[in-house]
Amino acid sequence: MLEVKDLFVSYGQSEALHGISFEANKNETVAIMGRNGMGKTTLFKSLMGVLPTKSGEISVAGSSVVKDESYKRVAKGIAYVPQGRMIFPTLTVEENIQTGLENSKSKKIPDEIYSLFPVLFDMRARKGGNLSGGQQQQLAIARALVTNPKVLLLDEPTEGIQPSIIKDIAKALNEIRKLREITIVVSEQVLSFAMDVADRLFVIEGGRLVHETTRADTDAERIKAYLSV
């Protein structure tokens, strides 16, 4: 569903991604594990078209998106939950979710979204800025999901979030996969969360994928070694 081939990305003269290649299949969740500064956000921003690609190929459902601007990539089925969530603090929860429905005929939020995230239903009239960090993360995921993406990208969804809400997020991601045909790519530093949601795990280090494993074959000690400095 998502195919990334030989992706190179630079900030000015400084190359940050040095040839990233991976695929994520329909109904599959893939985790990209890596320490701070290893290139996770750079990868996601380039997949989303927020950062230009120096060379390489990105395709969604067989269609190349690498030359498309972000809004076109959204139309082709990529949704992005950025690191730090970036919800609209002065809009209500309901209005925040509706921003994801901008290009759809109905402004009605599907029941499915509120059943995945009951807390958002309870707080639908509250301002986004008054939610906890974990609730804001759920809101950001809900907003991405209403675009009905084929590929959902989540950049460090557990960052700064308490364990009980991390579990809720894992549960919601696993639930979404049962309800829809969706490919999820999540970047993470928390191995237990990745093991809860991902079928395959990659490790990114210095802008390169240096390790790949299925969940069943995961050598947790090895991945923890990559994640610790």
Ligand X SMILES: Nc1ncnc2c1ncn2[C@@H]1O[C@H](COP(=O)(O)OP(=O)(O)OP(=O)(O)O)[C@@H](O)[C@H]1O
Residues that bind Mg ion (CB under 5 A): 40-41, 83
The set of residues, in sequence order, having a beta carbon less than 8 Å from that of 105 and lying 6+ positions away, is none
**Residue number, 97 or 184, with CB nearest to ligand X:** 184
Per CB under 6 A, the list member of 40, 85, 143, 150 interacting with ligand X is 40
Per CB under 6 A, the list member of 7, 16, 79, 154 interacting with ligand X is 16
Contact range with ligand X by CB under 6 A, out of 31-39, 63-71, 160-168, 211-219: 31-39
Beta strand pairing call for 183-188 and 63-64 = unpaired
Least Å distance, CB 140 to ligand X, is 16
Least Å distance, CB 80 to ligand X, is 13
Least Å distance, CB 20 to Mg ion, is 15
Least Å distance, CB 22 to ligand X, is 15
Fill in the amino acid letter for 223. I
Q: Strand 200-205's sheet: what is its strand order? A: 78-81, 151-155, 183-188, 29-33, 200-205, 208-214
Q: Which of ligand X, Mg ion, none interacts with 38 (beta carbon under 5 to 8 A by kind)?
A: ligand X
Locus of tokens 């972000």: 70
Please give the DSSP secondary-structure letter assigned to residue 180: S
Q: Which stretches of the chain are DSSP H helices? A: 40-48, 70-75, 93-99, 111-116, 118-122, 133-145, 163-179, 191-197, 220-227
Does position 83 interact with ligand X (CB under 6 A)? The reply is yes
Which residues is 213 bridged to in the sheet?
201
Does position 158 interact with ligand X (CB under 6 A)? The reply is no
Which residues here bind ligand X, judged by CB under 6 A? Answer: 11, 14, 16, 34, 36-42, 83
